[in-house]
Structures are given as structure tokens and as C-alpha cells.
Amino acid sequence: MYQTIKTDLTEGILTITINRPDKLNALNKDVIEELGKALDEVYENEAIRSAIITGEGTKAFVAGADITEFTDLDANGGSLLAQKGQDLVFSKIENAPKPIIAAVNGFALGGGCELAMACHFRTASETAKFGQPEVNLGLIPGYGGTQRLVQLIGKGKAMELLITADMIKADEAARLGLVNHVFAPKNLLSSTRDILLKIQTKAPLAVGKIIALVNEAATASLSGLSNEIKAFGECFGTEDKKEGTAAFLEKRAAVFSGR
Ligand code: COA
């Protein structure tokens, strides 16, 4: 069905693999469009409980937007490219009601680092490398990098990485909070799946609301507190709340229905 990505649905986890290893999985128009369609599946298909985004091969997660598509773009074309990517993919990932983890298996540069940062959190292989090298091309990040890197690692370090184009290794990315866990390359996908399988035992509606509220906190919006009160109240009207509290009181494991 897809030409530039591969998808696999196992145990409720949709693994989306960007599949242009000869071009270090660079994000061209086709990848953006196909990622957009796969994300629509994540939103719409009830059998999908969570997702992983990763890259084919051991060398790259995604080495950036496809630079060969930049040559003919003027100012308007550049803005349209960024807007389209953000609408079809990056914002859709961030706002997804189901958890999406980036499993970073190699270079995550430019749009690749931005793709990882749009995910709800990140795991990385010991060989992964992160960076925003756009200034090397006379450009700036266009898929949210100037905003999400600040949110994730703080202003000073984000500023340095963005304006030096320095690359950092997985262990430093973990120290800075850019990635949550670093795994041996052979364990990256299985260990990431284990995290999602654990999340999948939790109440799906509550998980979805937490994703939205944590996103709101990360953008320092004051409406986050009032929206939290509203969402907290909504949880009290769900079957899952009845089941979760009853299971606790009956000293048994809860079985959530997502209603
Ligand atoms: N866009 C388009 N093609 C890319 C690409 C990108 N962002 N990144 C890598 N490729 C292509 C290379 O052109 C090369 O293609 P070719 O075999 O047809 O020549 C292939 O992927 C392999 O990359 P190569 O540069 O030969 O690998 P390397 O090991 O020498 O270097 C990198 C790896 C990641 C350091 C280097 O590819 C690089 O700097 N890429 C661009 C990173 C970047 O600036 N990203 C931000 C874009 S806004």
C-alpha cells in the first residue's frame, strides 16, 4: 500500500518505518504524504492503540528533509513546504490521542530530529546522533524544531545546538532530556514495544487526555490548568473510571474498554 514507508500492526502497536535507507530516510514529499496517511490510520483505526516511528536500517532514523527538493523553492514555496509538513505530519503526531514514540535508530538530523521531537517521547539506540544542521544550509528548522527543542532541553542548550549545528550522541541526548531511554541497537524496538505494551494496560481515554494536557503545559499555556479541571471532570463520566476504581477496591487488575 505504501511506497516510502512500511507499517506493521502487532499487539495494538503500529510500527511505522521510514523506508529510504539509501537516502538515509530523508523526508521527501512522498514520505510526508504517506506518513500523513499512516497517522490518519492511527487516529481512525480502533485496533491501533499506540505507535512507533523508526527508520529502516542501522545508519539513520531520518537525516532531514530531502535537500534535493529545496533547489527550486522560493520563499513562498518554503513556507508552503513547512506548513504542509506540519499539518500532515508533525502536529498530527503531537496531538494524536494515542501514544507515539520515536525509536531513533541512527542519525536524527534536521527534520529527523524534529520528527522525533514531535513524538510524545523518544527512545534511542546507542548509535543515534541528533542535531539541527539547517544553519549549515542557510536555513532554519521548519517542522517545529525551534519550539520543541526549547521545550525539551531548555533555552540555552537549544540555542547552542540550533546556531552551532553541533551533533550530539545518544548519551548526551539522554542527559539533556531529549531522549528518555538509550538501548543497545538490537533491543531498541523490543524495549520500545515493552514501554507501549505497559501504557496499553492503562485507561486509553485518560492516556489521551494526559497527552493533550502535557502538550499544553509544554507550551506554557495558562488555559492548561482550566482545561485540566474540565478533562478531569470528563474522566469521572467514563466507564473506565468506574472499572478502574472498582478494580482497585476489589484488588484485581482493571480491564479498560476506552469508553
Ligand atoms: N536529503 C537528501 N539526501 C540526503 C540527505 C538529505 N537530508 N541526507 C543524506 N542524503 C543522501 C546523500 O546525498 C547520499 O545520497 P547518494 O548516495 O545518492 O549520494 C546518501 O543519502 C547517503 O548519505 P552520505 O552523505 O553519503 O552519507 P555520509 O555517511 O557520508 O554522511 C550525513 C551522513 C548524515 C552526515 C550526511 O548525509 C548529511 O550531512 N546529510 C544531510 C543532513 C542535513 O543537513 N539535514 C538537514 C536537512 S534540512
| Pocket mutation for ligand 1, best pick of 24, 27, 69, 164 (most atoms within 8 Å of C-beta) | 24
Least confident of 89-98, 141-150, 193-202, 218-227: 218-227
What integer best gives the mean pLDDT of the chain?
94
Q: Residues with Cβ < 8 Å from 43, sequence gap 6 or more? A: 92, 96, 97, 98
**Calpha distance 4→33 (Å, rounded):** 10
**Calpha distance 53→92 (Å, rounded):** 13
**pTM of the predicted model, to two decimals?**
0.94
Q: Are 192 and 229 in contact (CB under 8 A)?
A: no
- The Å distance, Cα 24 to ligand 1 centre, comes to 6
Which residues have C-beta atoms less than 6 Å from ligand 1?
23-24, 26, 63-68, 107, 109-111, 133-134, 136-137, 139
- pLDDT reported for residue 235: 79
**Identity of residue 209:** K
Confidence band for 156, pLDDT divided at 50, 70 and 90:
very high
- The Å distance, Cα 42 to ligand 1 centre, comes to 29
Residue 15: pLDDT over 70: yes
Q: Are 222 and 87 in contact (CB under 8 A)?
A: no
Residue 233: pLDDT over 80: no
**Calpha distance 244→249 (Å, rounded):** 9
CA nearest neighbour of 259 among 251, 39, 244 = 244
| Residue of higher predicted confidence among 233 and 172 | 172
Residue 136: pLDDT over 90: yes
Scanning the chain, the segments in alpha helix (DSSP H) are: 29-44, 75-85, 91-94, 111-118, 145-153, 155-164, 170-176, 188-199, 204-218, 223-235, 239-249
Name the one residue in this structure whose C-alpha cell is 521545550: 151
- pLDDT reported for residue 224: 63
List, for residues 113-131, the tens digit of each pLDDT value: 999 999 999 999 999 999 9
CA nearest neighbour of 101 among 128, 76, 120 = 120
- The Å distance, Cα 117 to ligand 1 centre, comes to 20
Q: Whose CA is nearest to atom 8 of ligand 1?
A: 63
List, for residues 199-228, the tens digit of each pLDDT value: 999 999 999 999 999 998 887 555 666 777
- pLDDT reported for residue 66: 95
- pLDDT reported for residue 72: 86
- pLDDT reported for residue 228: 72
Residue 236: pLDDT over 90: no
Known catalytic residue at 160: no
Residue 232: pLDDT over 90: no
Rounded to an integer, the average pLDDT of 3-17 is: 98
